Amino acid sequence: MRLKDCHNFHDFRRMAEKRLPGPIFNYIDGAADDEVTLRRNTASFDSCDLVPNVLRGVTEVDMSVTVMGQKLAMPVYCSPTALQRLFHHQGERAVAAAAARYGTMFGVSSLGTVSLEEARRISNGPQVYQFYFHKDRGLNRDMMTRAKEAGVEVMMLTVDSITGGNRERDKRTGFAIPFKLNLAGMAQFAIKPSWAIDYLTHERFKLPQLDAHVSMGGGVMSISRYFTEMLDPSMTWDDVADMVRHWGGQFCLKGVMSVEDARRAVEIGCTGIVLSNHGGRQLDGSRSGFDQLAEIVDAVGDHIDVIMDGGVQRGTHVLKALSLGAKAVGVGRYYLFPLAAAGQAGVERALELMKTELERGMRLMGCTSVDQLTRENLRFR
Ligand code: FNR
């Protein structure tokens, strides 16, 4: 299978599955418990239909949006995800460069495999730095200082991962960082030579270095220990309010789902929220960001930028979210599978397809700019 044969999310996913050892593919593809939320995230876009307008003169289409003070050429950005150099040696470097090329925002994860400083050097396109709340308050402040010094525009605190989700696929394959593969897992690595050659050549079979705070004494702390030992489950709104004040700029909470929480995010001075269930990887059975969108936009949309993610695989999914009032939409697996399949060329092809689908979709909807998409353009079944 070649990159030019990939025309949509499913093609990229298949190509990634062919190249990646099973444990790594399943780490990306999988989710928590019975994966109900994972499936619902995409299925919820089918609960409504687009209602187009015609004969509106749609020669020029402007897809740009401004979200949390950042101008994006299209309303889709690369949500922060962990461990990208494990999927392809170009990892975050490829995604940062591809996002900049398409004029959109790149989310640097604090569980990433390049530092935020390096990501910043690769592109001067808009970037968010995503982090978690640590018991060590000094570490939280250090991370914000580093982000400020590196010139990061938006701080993003993920609040849906105060403990790790129950990822049963990872338990079955033995996927863990550092690797703790079982026999079946090891066999999976042996039969995927192109991944193994890539890894041997570029990473010499060492785990790519995680961002500094997850590394301990030159070794790498396991991610499950990181969640249980370093993150602070006692975190409250007061702690976040302190951080928002300390940062003093664009601050976004990722993983807010309830109206009550969205209102509190406004009260403490956040400038954005991402409605997200972490791609179904945390609380299985939780509602999809898309299903929750209208309620949240009605409650706080005039005061804060409302973004959603989860299950987005098509330009028309994005058009539906924008019609309901989202300012922008995040994608995770949509760019991770292309990254795993073909590195930067893969991510660029995926973003190109998204851009083409969005342009075509906007024309077919009779819209020349994103703000023309309204709830009049959507009907729920
Ligand atoms: C994630 N996500 C995530 N989120 C976050 O805030 N920090 C992180 O380090 C990660 N890591 C991560 C790894 C992998 C492999 C995946 C698939 C996801 C969640 C991500 O930012 C986003 O919320 C979801 O991926 C959105 O769902 P879709 O687009 O993957 O369906």
Q: Which atom of ligand 1 is nearest to the CA of 276?
A: 23
The answer to whether 80 is a known ligand-binding residue is yes
Interface confidence, given as ipTM, is 1.00
What residue's CA is closest to ligand 1, atom 15?
Answer: 28
Closest CA to 275 of 296, 302, 250, 251: 296
pLDDT at 203: 76
| pLDDT grade for 218, boundaries at 50, 70 and 90 | very low
Q: Which atom of ligand 1 is nearest to the CA of 274?
A: 23
CB within 8 Å of 310: residues ≥ 6 apart: 41, 275, 276, 277, 279, 280, 288, 289, 290
Residues near 287 by beta carbon (within 8 Å), at least 6 away in sequence:
37, 40, 257, 277
Q: Whose CA is nearest to atom 23 of ligand 1?
A: 278
How far apart (Å, rounded) are the C-alpha atoms in residues 23 and 368?
A: 44
Distance CA 271, CA 247 (A): 12
Is 126 annotated as contributing to ligand binding? no
Protein residue with its CA nearest to atom 11 in ligand 1:
81
Mean pLDDT of 228-252: 94
Rounded to the nearest angstrom, the distance between the alpha carbon of 36 and the centre of ligand 1 is 16
Chain mean pLDDT for the chain = 93
* CA of residue 287 to ligand 1 center, whole Å: 16
Per-residue DSSP letter, 369? B
* Complete DSSP assignment for 307-344: EEESS--SHHHHHHHHHHT-SEEEESHHHHHHHHHHHH
What whole-number distance in Å separates Cα of residue 161 and Cα of residue 156?
13
Predicted pLDDT at 220: 59
How far is Cα 325 from Cα 35, in angstroms, rounded to an integer?
27
Calculate how far, in angstroms, residue 369's C-alpha sits from the geometric centre of ligand 1.
28
| Ligand 1 atom showing the smallest separation from residue 79 Cα | 21
User: Distance from the CA of 27 to the center of ligand 1, in angstroms?
Assistant: 11
pLDDT of residue 227: 81
Ligand 1 shell residues, CB under 6 Å: 28, 41, 79-82, 109, 111, 130, 158, 254, 276, 278-279, 281, 309-312, 330-334, 336
pLDDT of residue 316: 98
Could you tell me which residue, 260 or 226, shows the higher pLDDT? 260
In ligand 1, the atom with minimum distance to the C-alpha of 279 is: 27
Q: How far apart are CA 270 and CA 253, in angstroms?
A: 7
Domains, the chain:
3-365 (3.20.20.70)
Q: Are strands 215-216 and 305-309 parallel, antiparallel or unpaired?
A: unpaired
Greater confidence (176 vs 191) lies with 191
* pLDDT surpasses 90 at 188: no
How many other CB atoms are found less than 10 A from the CB of residue 309? 29
pLDDT score of 128 more than 80 = yes
What is the spatial distance between Cα 367 and Cα 356, in angstroms, rounded to a whole number?
15
- Position 216 pLDDT exceeds 50: no
- Local confidence band at 217 (pLDDT 50, 70, 90 cut-offs): very low
Element spanning 66, H or E: strand 65-67
Is 356 marked as binding a ligand?
Answer: no
Q: Which is higher by pLDDT, 195 or 104? A: 104
pLDDT value, residue 314: 98
38 Cα nearest atom in ligand 1: 31
Predicted confidence at residue 41, as pLDDT, reads: 98
* CA nearest ligand 1 atom 10, residue: 81
How many CB atoms within 10 Å of residue 272?
24
Q: By mean pLDDT, which of 22-31, 187-196, 210-219 is the weakest?
A: 210-219
Q: Is the pLDDT of residue 300 over 90?
A: yes
Of the candidates 89, 213, 278, 317, the residue annotated as catalytic is: 278
First to last CA, the chain: 38
On the question of pLDDT at 223 being above 80, the answer is: no
Q: Is the pLDDT of residue 334 over 50?
A: yes
Q: 130 a known binding residue?
A: yes
Beta-carbon count within 10 A of 323 CB:
23
Residue 207's pLDDT is what?
Answer: 63
Mean pLDDT lowest among 15-24, 54-63, 196-205, 287-296: 196-205
Is pLDDT above 70 for 211? no
Q: Residue 215: pLDDT above 70? A: no
Distance from residue 310's CA to the centre of ligand 1 (Å) = 8
Say yes or no to pLDDT of 221 above 80. no
278 is catalytic: yes
Flag whether pLDDT at 145 surpasses 90: yes
Does 89 belong to an annotated binding site? no
pLDDT average, residue stretch 257-276 = 98
- Rounded CA gap, 156 and 128, in Å? 6
Mutate to test the pocket of ligand 1, among 111, 132, 281, 334 (most ligand atoms within 8 A of CB): 281
Nearest CA-CA partner of 219 in 247, 177, 275: 177
User: 68 alpha carbon to ligand 1 midpoint, in Å?
Assistant: 20
Look at residue 210 in the predicted model and tell me its pLDDT. 65
